Amino acid sequence: MEFSIIIPTYNRQKLLKKCLESLLHQDFPKKKYEILVIDDGSKDNTENFVKKLKKTNKNLKYFKIKKSGRGTARNLGLKNSKKKIIAFTDDDCVVEKQWLKKIEYYFKNTKVDAVGGAIVNPTNKYISWAQYILNFSAWFPKGNCKLVKDIPTANVAYRQESINGLEFSENLGKGGYEDSLFNLELRRKGGKILFCPDVKVSHFTWEMNYGLKKFFWIQKKAGLGFLLGGYKTNSKSGRILNRFKFLNLFCPRISLIFLRCVKSGYLLKFIYCFPLIFLGEFYNGAIIFLSQSKIYKN
């Protein structure tokens, strides 16, 4: 199998360097994969860095656009991908050495349309663990492979033929949920998504000046993304929470997150981080409840 790997990036040259190093040193033939860096208008040294790296890595490609958002960047990557498997990761992620080899194994041995994996928190910071548990509990690196409704673009690959004609939403601003809505469209076509916990990427954004301001900004972004269409990905429960927005103030996801932590062996982490987990979930709910703009009404 041959892969196209798409990485959108914006002003994260230091993090992108770690990401590309992990991709360029895969335990996989270089001639069988290409890496597409989509620069979403960076103003740091990203362009010079990637162009210099291209000179010694023929499978590395670089595209730069004006600041347009992650959806637009990923769509440009899709248009320029040449291989039959389209993989995604983020510029703040480091993939394991056998990342492509494991993904290839699952595609060869199943008939699924997408293979995704776990998100790993490589830090010991209190705030990072709270956000990791709050936003990534569905993709802990524990358990067995299973079919899922959603998977983050930080760690996922698709059969090109399965996503032909699909695009990421370009109208969500900073709200996020582009990947969730993309996966929803795939499932509506009958596509199957396989989550494999042993396919891992480490999420290093938490090492870069990550504090409370960033933590609550992420929860706000999740709340806005929910209002702008993310609620659709949760079927009936999402539609109920979108219609009766006050219900979000009761932090309905907390119990589910707790059960995932118990099942995955993170109970002590959950207890330790619970005050911030609760505040983050309540803030998310408050954003949903208090937003009155017409753009959020569906």
Q: What is the pLDDT confidence band of residue 207, given thresholds at 50, 70 and 90?
A: confident
Of 183, 206, 56, 34, the residue nearest 129 (C-alpha): 206
At 26 the three-state DSSP class reads coil
pTM above 0.85, yes or no: yes
In this prediction, residue 294 carries a pLDDT of 41
> In terms of residue numbers, what domain contains 146?
3-288
pLDDT digits (tens, 9 = 90+) for 22-34: 999 999 999 999 9
Residues across the chain: 298
205 pLDDT exceeds 70? yes
Residue 295 within a domain: no
In a domain, 297, yes or no: no
Instruction: Select from 48, 50, 77 the least CA-distant residue to 65.
Output: 77
pLDDT band at 209 (very low <50, low <70, confident <90, very high): confident
In this prediction, residue 92 carries a pLDDT of 95
- Token pair of 152 as six digits: 């983050």
Q: What DSSP string runs through 140-202?
A: -S-S--EEES---TTEEEEEHHHHTT----S--TT---HHHHHHHHHHHTT--EEEEEEEEEE
Question: Which residues have CB under 8 Å from 196's CB, separation 6+?
Answer: 102, 106, 115, 116, 117, 118, 145
Q: Residues 6 or more apart from 203 whose CB is under 8 A from it?
A: 90, 92, 93, 119, 120, 121, 122, 132, 136, 154
Which has the closest alpha carbon to 160: 30, 36, 2? 2
Confidence class of residue 296 from pLDDT cuts 50, 70 and 90? very low
Of the two residues 170 and 119, the one the predictor is more confident about is 119
**pLDDT band at 292; cut points 50, 70, 90:** low
Residue 52 CB neighbour total at 10 angstroms: 10
Q: What is the pLDDT of residue 174?
A: 62
What pLDDT was estimated at residue 225?
86
Token pair for 183: 């996966």
**Token code pair at residue 18:** 């770690």
Q: Is 23 left (phi over 0), alpha (psi -120 to 50) or beta?
A: alpha
Give the three-class secondary structure for 6. strand
In a domain, 205, yes or no: yes
> Is the distance from CB of 20 to CB of 51 less than 8 angstroms?
no
- Residue 180 belongs to some domain of the structure: yes
| C-beta of residue 157 within 8 angstroms of C-beta of residue 193 | no
Q: Are 90 and 38 in contact (CB under 8 A)?
A: no
CATH of the domain at 192: 3.90.550.10
Supply the pLDDT for residue 111. Answer: 96
Which pLDDT score, from 0 to 100, does residue 295 have?
Answer: 40
Instruction: Identify the pLDDT of residue 177.
Output: 85
Confidence of residue 133 (pLDDT cuts 50, 70, 90): very high
233, containing H or E segment: none
**Position 251 pLDDT exceeds 50:** yes
User: What mean pLDDT value characterizes the chain?
Assistant: 93
Instruction: Give a yes or no: residue 294 inside a domain.
Output: no
CA–CA dist 164, 84 (Å, integer): 11
Side chain identity at 291, as an amino acid letter?
S
Residue range 264-282: mean pLDDT, rounded: 97
As a whole number of Å, the CA-based R_g of the chain is 19
Confidence at residue 172, expressed as pLDDT on a 0 to 100 scale: 67
Classify the phi-psi angles of 29: left when phi > 0, otherwise alpha if psi is within -120 to 50, otherwise beta: beta
Residue 36 pLDDT exceeds 90: yes
Tens of pLDDT, residue by residue over 58-113, are 999 999 999 988 999 999 999 999 999 999 999 999 999 999 999 999 999 999 99
Total domains, the chain: 1
> Among 42-56, 146-160, 172-186, 272-286, which is the least confidently predicted range?
172-186
Average pLDDT (178-202) is: 96
Strand 193-203 vs strand 93-95: parallel, antiparallel, or unpaired?
Answer: antiparallel
d(CA 241, CA 247): 6
